[in-house]
Amino acid sequence: MKEQHFIDELIKGKQAAYSQLLEDYQQKVFGTCISFIPNKEDAEDVAQEVFLEIFKSIKKFKGDSKLSTWIYKIATNKCLEFIRKKNSKKRFAFMQTIFGNEIPIDKTSYFTEVNHPGVLLENKEKSTIIFKAINTLSESQRVVFTLAKVDGKSYQEIVEITGRSLSSVESLMFRAKKNLQEKLEDFYKNEN
């Protein structure tokens, strides 16, 4: 099925098109979500939100990029939105404990559970350390690094997903690698 015909069928709300969309993209979207949110249940929830957004917004798709690029852009944005909300809730709970309000806090660090199938590290502790280090990067560095190194996207695909220039993506990737190297060196020095 040609992409434009497929998009037209989605816009018309054809059930067969939606089924095909889920079949083609369900695992890919989940893979992207778990790259950013290494917790299976949370990644599944966000992936569902991605498809709800696709179904709701397909009429707004202008065709400026490929459908897959548009879908990855939605997935990336939904993941970042989830992370921001999660971090915001943790800050709010922390502030309440400072001011004496007795509200239970989730004391587990957000990136402590790593269920990412793409991370082939045998030692879960090392995986946790790496994801914690990735989480300390600026949002733009984290997006570029995660899409490239965890999700396996090419720089050109990252350009299309993020809307940044190729030189900007390359620069962010360089800084992300440098920052991660420094953070991980510091950690291992302190461990020994």
pLDDT tens digits for range 52-109 = 999 999 998 888 889 999 999 999 999 989 988 876 655 545 444 434 444 333 333 3
What confidence tens digit (pLDDT) does each residue in 39-48 have? 889 999 999 9
**Tokens 């600026």 appear where?**
138
3-191, what's its fold?
A: Rna Polymerase Sigma Factor; Chain: A (1.10.1740)
Cα of 2 vs its chain's centroid, Å: 28
Residue 121: phi, psi to the nearest 5?
-85, 130
Q: How far is CA 164 from CA 34, 66, 75, 89, in A?
A: 23, 16, 17, 29
What confidence tens digit (pLDDT) does each residue in 104-152 have? 333 333 443 444 544 444 445 666 677 778 888 898 998 999 888 878 8
| pLDDT band at 183; cut points 50, 70, 90 | confident
Tokens representing 172 are: 């962010």
pTM (two decimals): 0.64
Q: Residue 184 carries which side chain, given as an amino acid letter?
A: L
